[in-house]
Amino acid sequence: MQPHDQEYDLPPEAAAWRARAAAFAQNVLAPVAREADRAGRFSRDVVRQLGQAGLIGAALPASAGGGAASALAACAIAEEIGAVDGSTRGFLAVQAGLVLAPLVAHAPAALRDHWAPRLTSGEAIGACALTEPEAGSDLGAMRTTIRPDGDDVVIDGEKVWITNGGVADVLLVFGQTDPTRKTRGLECYLVAADTPGLERQPMPGRELGHRASDHARLVFRGLRVPKAQRVGPALGGMGVAMLGLEDGRLNVAAGAVGVHRACLEASIQFARTRRQFGQRIGDFQQVGATLASMDVALRASRLLVHQAARLKDRGLDNGHAVSAAKLHATEAALAAATQAIQLHGSRGYSDELPLERHWRDVMALTIYEGTSNIQRVILARMLLGRDEPPEGSEA
C-alpha cells in the first residue's frame, strides 16, 4: 500500500471499481503500453478487453446496459487507467464521456439501442467531432455547415484532431446551421462512418504524446444524414457538446491524478534507493522538499476531482468544480511529471521508464476538452457573474 492509499476515502462501490480498473491496468495495459507508444499503435484488442471488463460502460445507467457506477467510481477508474496508460485513458474519456454519455441520454431510441451496446462492449468505436482548423476553443466559429434538404441534412466541412476519428464506426458530428447565431446555431448528428461523403486521414505530423491513440482529420463533402439522426434537439448542439465535455473533463482531471500519482510513487521509490554522496538522494533537503510538494499537490488535485464527482453524485451542479479540478489536476500533473524526470536524472529521460511518456501524454491534458486558459475563463465568468451596468449608465 502506498503512503497516501488509505486516504482515498472511497465508499465500497467506488473502491470495488477502482480495484477492477487497477487490475486491468496492471495485467492488460502495463505489459504493452510502452511498445504501443513506441509503435504508435492503436489497439482494438485493448478496446474489446476494456469492454469485457465492464470499464467502458461503467458509468452508464443499468437500463442502457451500463454498470451504474457513481461519478466517484468513474474517477477512480480514470485515475487507475491514467496512472499506467494515457492513450487508453484518452480513448476511454472520448468513448464513455464524449460519445456514450450524450448518445444514451439524447439520441433517438432506435439509434441508441443499436449503438450503445456495441460501444459499451468495445465491439464498436465512437468519436466526437467538434474541433476545426478555425474553431478550437471558440466552438461558435465552426464552419462545418449543416443544411436541411427534405428529410435529410447535408454536412460539408472539415474537422481536425478527432480522437478515434480514423478508426471510429460512428461519430457525433457538430456543425453550424446559422453562423449569425454562433453556439446557438450548432446542431449534432449521429453519423455512421461508412456514410458516403466522409473522408478520413491521419493527422499530419507526429504527436508529442498519446501516440497509441488515433487522431484524424475528417472531411465531409455533401454528406447526407436523415434529420431523424439528430442528437439532443431540445439541448441544441452546444448543449450536447457541454454534456459530453463535463463528463470528459472530469475524466481528464482524474486521469491527470493518475499520472501525478505514478510520478510521485516512482520518485519516492527512486529517492529511497538511489545513493549519491554516500546517502539516499531523498535525504537531501531539496529532493525531500520536491517530494513533499508533489505529495501536497496530488492530494489537492484528488480532493478537487472527488469534490466535483461527489457533487454530480448528489445531483448538484458541478460545472465550477469540474473546471477547477481540470485546471489544477492537469497543471499539477504536468509539473509532477517534470519533477519526476528531473529527480530520476538521466534515467527519467529514456523510455526505459514510463516517466517521459507520462510527461508527453499529460501535456495534452492541459489542452484538450478546454485548455487551461479556457478553464480560467469559465471560472472567472462564474466568479464575476454577468456585467450589470449601474442604472442610468450608457453601457
Residues in contact with ligand FAD by the rule CB under 6 A: 94, 128-131, 136-137, 161-163, 210, 215, 364, 367-368, 371, 373-374, 377
Nearer to ligand FAD, 136 or 233 (CB): 136
Q: C-beta of 214: minimal distance to ligand FAD in Å?
A: 10
The catalytic site residues sit at 369
Our CB check for ligand FAD shows the closer of 73 and 125 to be 125
Across the chain, how many H-helices and E-strands are there?
Answer: 12, 9
Residue whose C-alpha is closest to residue 192's, from 175, 174, 172, 177: 172
> Which residue lies nearer to ligand FAD by CB, 16 or 363?
363
Cα 370 to the chain's mean position, in Å? 10
Q: Alpha helix (H) ranges present in 216-354?
A: 236-273, 285-313, 319-343
Shortest Å, Cβ 213 to ligand FAD: 7
The CB-of-68 to ligand FAD minimum distance in angstroms stands at: 26
* Shortest separation between residue 108's beta carbon and ligand FAD, angstroms: 22
Grid coordinates given for 325: 479540478
Amino acid identity, position 136 = G
Q: Which is nearer to ligand FAD, 32 or 374 (CB)?
A: 374
Q: Say which DSSP state 180 is in.
A: G
Residue nearest to ligand FAD (CB): 136
Distance set, CA 142 to CA 130, 182, 391 (Å): 8, 8, 36
Residue 365's closest CA among 325, 330, 328, 320? 330
Q: Give least dist CB 91 to ligand FAD, A.
A: 10
Q: Please, what is the minimum distance in Å from the beta carbon of residue 364 to ligand FAD?
A: 4
Pick 126 or 185: Cβ nearer ligand FAD: 126
Q: How many Cβ atoms sit within 10 Å of the Cβ of residue 140? A: 14
What the block records as the C-alpha cell of 261 is 500519482
Would you call 260 exposed, middle or buried from its count of C-beta atoms within 10 A (0-12, 13-18, 19+)? buried
Chain centroid offset of residue 177 CA: 27
Q: Of the two residues 79 and 361, which places its CB atom closer to ligand FAD in the complex? A: 361
* Number of neighbours of residue 389 by Cβ within 10 angstroms: 8
What is the distance between the alpha carbons of residues 99 and 125, in angstroms, rounded to a whole number?
9
Name the nearest CA neighbour of 166 among 89, 96, 218: 218
Rg, C-alpha atoms of the chain:
22
